[in-house]
Amino acid sequence: MSSNQIQSLSGFRDFFPEELSSRRHIFSAWRRVCERYGFSEYDGPPLEPLELYTRKSGDGIVGQLYEFEDKGGRPVALRPEMTPTFARMIALRAAALPKPIRWFSIPQLFRYERPQRGRLREHFQLNMDIVGETNFLADAEIIAAGIDALRELGLNKSHIRVRVSDRRLMVSLLDAIGVAGASHHAVFNTLDRLDKRPRDEIAKELQGIVSDQEVAGRILELTERSISQLQDEFADHESVVKAADDLVGVLGCLEKSGLEGYAEFDASLVRGLAYYTGTVFEIWEREGQLRAICGGGRYDDLLQALGGVDLPAVGFGMGDVVLSELLKEHQLMPAEVGCVDDYIVCVSEEERATALKVAHSLRDSGRRVTQDLQSRKVSRQLKAANQAGAERAIILGAEELSRGMVLVKDLESGEEQEVPLDSLTDRKG
């Protein structure tokens, strides 16, 4: 690389045509699924007031903000996630919108993280959220949509698994074993690192929070229980029973929809973001090499906190970075599709006027057309047509044109056929 070349920033991607083709492949699958679930697309500003994130997102994300003062001295941040923008926008129109509201978006987000495999400083994220429904059917529908957004790309239960838990359940369990409400947030933050740090380190940290070795040990034991074990063990605790019933309901809905074998209860899942109040879930690669592909949950207080309207909500964010890695690993990313149907070849510059007319008429009829822009040899033009992945070469030569004909070459079979010039240039309007 020459010394005066400026490199892109670490953790930011250039999308060359082949990478953009992969991105478009993912986005179109996502959009198809969102439409099938009856969701409407929205977008918001990439730059927001800093306060939108400091109020409710939690320390993890706030520590990763790209924040600065704009020229007017306002504290602002590039959006690190879409949920606060979504909550702000919904609050503006909440009264007028029929409920439940089902909206989706595919924003580019920015987080100052340490770049590594599956983790960058920008990523795109499909967000699907339902607002105005407390019934666990909404939670199940959101999880099903997340699974389907991946199934649409060729992944299935042999590649992915959904870990599901519930903050209400965990809060009730912590209450039941005597952990003070004031410590719950710190306990969740510690448990969120369970799969990244050694267990004895986590145990020590929990001990520091609850100041009791036995209780710290019990918290860790709870993270390994199945739902039926918890139901038996805490049968006398009404709030545990209710939260467990809802969770069983969510899992049951997925099975009844035909998505059995994808989701399982995992008490060790808490999720880092501070605003979740109920169901939480993440979708992981089964092998578990990469970070989560998708994460979400119920956040019934965020709209009140950011927009002053009291509406429950549930949704998820699914990132494109981990997903692209996974699709490539399983040979599920299609090769870049050709972007040319017809390549116009001129035998000499004499045919240029006809070439312009043919190219324009074919484009008007919806064909994707490239014409050779130099007076190159026919063989060079045909080579360029093949390289462009064109289906046909339309060869314009003086002799054929004098008879009102052109030569059309099928570039796959090599077959050539004369067709009347009029058949390519006749168009209405």
Q: Rule CB under 6 A: say whether 113 interacts with ligand HAM.
A: yes
Task: Report, in Å, the least distance between residue 46 CB and ligand HAM.
Answer: 15
Residue 155 binds ligand HAM, judged by CB under 6 A: no
CB atoms < 10 A from the CB of 284, how many? 22
Reported as type and span, the H/E element at residue 104 is strand 101-105
Measured from the CB atom, the residue of 83 and 381 that comes closer to ligand HAM is 83
CB 153 within 8 A of CB 29: yes
Which region among 118-126, 166-174, 185-193, 399-407 touches ligand HAM (by CB under 6 A)? 118-126
Stretch that binds ligand HAM, among 81-89, 175-183, 341-349, 363-371 (CB under 6 A): 81-89
Reduce the secondary structure of 372-395 to three states and give it as a string: CCCCCCHHHHHHHHHHCCCCEEEE
- Closest of 159, 128, 148, 154 to residue 290, by C-alpha: 159
CB of 11 to ligand HAM, least distance (A): 8
Does 165 contact ligand HAM by CB under 6 A?
Answer: no
Is residue 125 at the binding interface for ligand HAM, with CB under 6 A as the rule? yes
Q: Is the C-alpha dihedral spanning 235, 175, 217, 63 positive or negative? A: positive
**CB of residue 35 vs ligand HAM: minimum separation in angstroms?**
19
Q: Which residues contact 326 (CB under 8 A, 6 or more apart)?
A: 155, 159, 285, 290, 293, 332
Question: CA nearest 162: which of 33, 260, 66, 57?
Answer: 260
CA–CA separation, 399 vs 277, rounded Å? 77
Q: Which is nearer to ligand HAM, 111 or 159 (CB)?
A: 111
Residue choice 216, 230, 322, 406 for contact with ligand HAM (CB under 6 A): 322
Using DSSP, state whether 208 is helix, strand or coil: helix
Taking the C-alpha atoms of residue 377 and residue 392, their distance in angstroms, rounded to an integer, is 18
Residue at 195: amino acid letter: D
Phi-psi bin for 393: left (phi > 0), alpha (psi -120 to 50), beta?
A: beta
Tell me the closest approach of the beta carbon of residue 79 to ligand HAM, in angstroms.
10
Our finding on whether 317 is near ligand HAM (CB under 6 A) is yes
102 binds ligand HAM (CB under 6 A): no
125 vs 354 by CB, closer to ligand HAM: 125
Chain positions 272 to 301 lying near ligand HAM, rule: CB under 6 A, are: 273, 292-296
CB of 282 to ligand HAM, least distance (A): 6
**Rounded CA separation 394/353 (Å):** 14
Question: Binding of ligand HAM at residue 143 (CB under 6 A)?
Answer: no
Q: Quick check: 55 binds ligand HAM (CB under 6 A)?
A: no
Q: How big is the site for ligand HAM, counted in residues (CB under 6 A)?
A: 23
Stretch of 46-54, 319-327, 355-363, 406-414 lying at the interface with ligand HAM (CB under 6 A): 319-327
User: Is residue 111 near ligand HAM by the rule CB under 6 A?
Assistant: yes
Q: 335 CB contacts (<8 Å, ≥6 apart)? A: none
Give which of 46, 251, 39, 25 is closest to 128, Cα–Cα. 39
Site for ligand HAM, rule CB under 6 A: 81-83, 111, 113, 119-120, 123, 125, 127, 129, 273, 292-296, 315-317, 319, 321-322
